[in-house]
Amino acid sequence: MSHPLTGRAAIVTGASEGLGREIARACVAAGASVLICARDADRLQQVLADLGAMAGPEQTIIAEPADVSNPSDVDRLVARALDAFPQVHILVNNAGVYGPLGPIETVDWPAWTRAIEINLYGSVLMARALVPHFKRHRYGKIIQLSGGGATNPLPRISAYAASKAAIVRFAESLALELEGSGIDVNSVAPGPLNTRLMDQLLAAGPETVGAAFHDRMRKISAEGGTPLERGAALAVFLGSAESDGITGRLLSAVWDRWSDLPARRDALKDTDVYTLRRIVPADRGLDWDK
């Protein structure tokens, strides 16, 4: 399908730049009406103009400046969407920050907790605000942006790692909580991206984020990083009818053959594939528990 989101409406947070902007563009190109939000109102207006030029006559594109970690901003944002669209079908929780970089004992504590508020609380607040609407319509798609911190420890980037692991587990928990409701909840790992966050890591230097990690990120950046289009394409897939019934999963835009999942929908339901899981000795061929 060339326009798999025709007739659908999406909210994309953190859409003023980077991956959020690309996801919003992909949603519009796929036929959706879209509400974009971010804290930077000026950048948001630039994206609005870009998306408006792409949209067809049946699509509505609006922008609403908001801080998703602020409950009153979230309420205002969702009210605007519900007023503008007959039905909201898709929520993309993309807004996120790295937070302070460096050893836990020296990083700025308010900045550390602020990262948790944006990455974790912001996503939970948006889901919490839209779930009643999704339940009334017996349909909804919640798409959570993950990152390397969800599945790998990231020393010296602890606020980001902790918040991403937490939000993926929340998404898995919410998927089970909403089982049978027609609401799918999934997380997307987009791969290392050449965005403002990458620039922040490189600017911090090897003494702050660790020499090995900094060197790896420098090489990835020099090679161009993962194309933003890959994560955006997965977000469109998860927002479409094609992915109905696929829920509670953490999918890599780069490594997983997610386009094949509709044919494996029933088998997927009975497995813990694409989920966070504790590794036990038997998984590594060890008999420590005998």
Which residues are annotated as catalytic?
Answer: 160
Token couple for 232: 């955006």
Q: Between vectors from CA 229 to CA 39 and to CA 242, what angle results, nearest 5°?
A: 100
29 within 8 A of 229, measured Cβ to Cβ: no
For 21-34, letters b (16+ CB in 10 Å) and e give: bbbbbbbbbbbbbb
Q: Which residue has the tokens 């302070």?
A: 100
CA distances for 242 relative to 22, 149, 190, angstroms: 21, 28, 20
Sort 202 into a burial class: Cβ within 10 Å, 0-12 / 13-18 / 19+. Answer: middle
Strand pairing report for 140-145 and 90-93:
parallel
Q: Would you call 33 helix, strand, or coil by DSSP?
A: strand
